Amino acid sequence: MFRKIILCLGAVFALAACSGNEVAWPDVPDSEIDKISLDDGTFFAIEDEFNEDGWKYFVEFTIADGLLTHVSFDGVNIFAATFKSAAAVNGLSPEDEGEGLRWDEQISLLEDSFLKFQSYLPADILETAPEDEKPAFDIDVAFLINLFKRAANEGPREAGPYLDGQYFMAQDVNGEYLSETPYRYFLNMIVRHGYIIAVHWNAINGEGLRKYEPILPGSLLDSEGEALLWRAQADLLETHLIATQDPMLMTFDEDQMSQELFGIHIPVQSFVELAVSALAAGPILEQQ
């Protein structure tokens, strides 16, 4: 059944903040109210790549009987180890070093406004409104609103085959392994809306040091030689798994080399086996 949600703005509305101040949106004339029509269903959109801050953001929301009944904004880090909301709660978000609301608290204000008013503000309002009329958010919510619009434009999306949450798998440790190999490989994954959205394959040595650091967009590549070569190829494997959503589709020969990816010259067997095992074992921490 075709349902309609009217994303409208009334007069100025306020959201209470912990500091006692009010977060207010500017007035918007009725003629500038955006209206979109949405089918019932669950919508999901995620950024195409990680930002320079090491996070990739997503939105998930549900339309039922023509009403917005659930909306969630969050992010995953490049290590595929945590969600942005969890990092903020645990004091691990750099944006939260000031005295204002934490990142997750500001996101909750944004989500609550969607649910209460069945509306969102177009990003251009945030860009063009006078400074003294702009909502008092410390974080950039304009791109999140645009991400919401992208999900709306793409339409309802069926959930993927996996349980939402954080996944982890590491190679078994035994005496023979420790005596012959200086690194123990492990794999982190994060699943949301049933899809793999972040993957991080790495290894640690006996001192707890990682084999490589992820390559952030916009970062300057150094001359680390073998380590740089390895991490660049690891990034290709991680990206390929997110694209295919199934490690069983990744094959390797008797030398553990990839049979379908060009530019991969490192053994991939541990990556494939760890991904298969992690998904089979299920999430170590489910997300509600």
Beta-carbon count within 10 A of 150 CB? 14
Query: Whole-model pTM?
Result: 0.77
pLDDT above 70: residue 14? no
Q: Which of 57-61, 124-128, 142-146, 197-201 has the lowest mean pLDDT?
A: 124-128
Which of 154, 174, 201 finishes a domain?
Answer: 154
The per-residue pLDDT for range 22-44, each reduced to its tens digit, is 445 555 555 554 555 688 999 99
Q: Domain range holding 92?
A: 4-154
Contact between 96 and 89 (Cβ < 8 Å): no
- Based on the domain organization, do 177 and 250 belong to the same domain? yes
Q: How many domains does the chain have?
A: 2
- Based on the domain organization, do 130 and 169 belong to the same domain? no
SS3 61: strand
Domain at 221, CATH number:
3.90.1010.20
What's the gap between Cα 186 and its chain centre? Answer: 20
Give CA–CA dist 154/142, Å, rounded.
19
Share of the chain above pLDDT 70, in %: 62
Confidence class for position 184, pLDDT limits 50, 70, 90: confident
Strand partners, 23: 15
Question: Phi and psi of 261, rounded to 5°?
Answer: -110, 125
Which of 101, 134, 154 finishes a domain?
Answer: 154
Domain at 134, CATH number:
3.90.1010
Order of all β-strands in the sheet with 55-64 = 41-46, 55-64, 67-77
- Based on the domain organization, do 120 and 202 belong to the same domain? no
Q: Beta strand pairing status for 67-77 and 55-64?
A: antiparallel
Query: Which pLDDT does position 102 carry in this prediction?
Result: 87
- Based on the domain organization, do 12 and 149 belong to the same domain? yes
Give CA–CA dist 140/288, Å, rounded.
25
Alpha helices by DSSP H, the chain? 84-89, 103-117, 123-128, 142-154, 175-180, 226-244, 269-281
CA angle 270/274/280 to nearest 5° reads 150
Which of 154, 181, 216 finishes a domain?
Answer: 154
- Based on the domain organization, do 24 and 100 belong to the same domain? yes
- Based on the domain organization, do 275 and 176 belong to the same domain? yes
What residues contact residue 68 under an 8 Å CB cut-off, 6+ apart? Answer: 5, 61, 62, 114, 115, 118
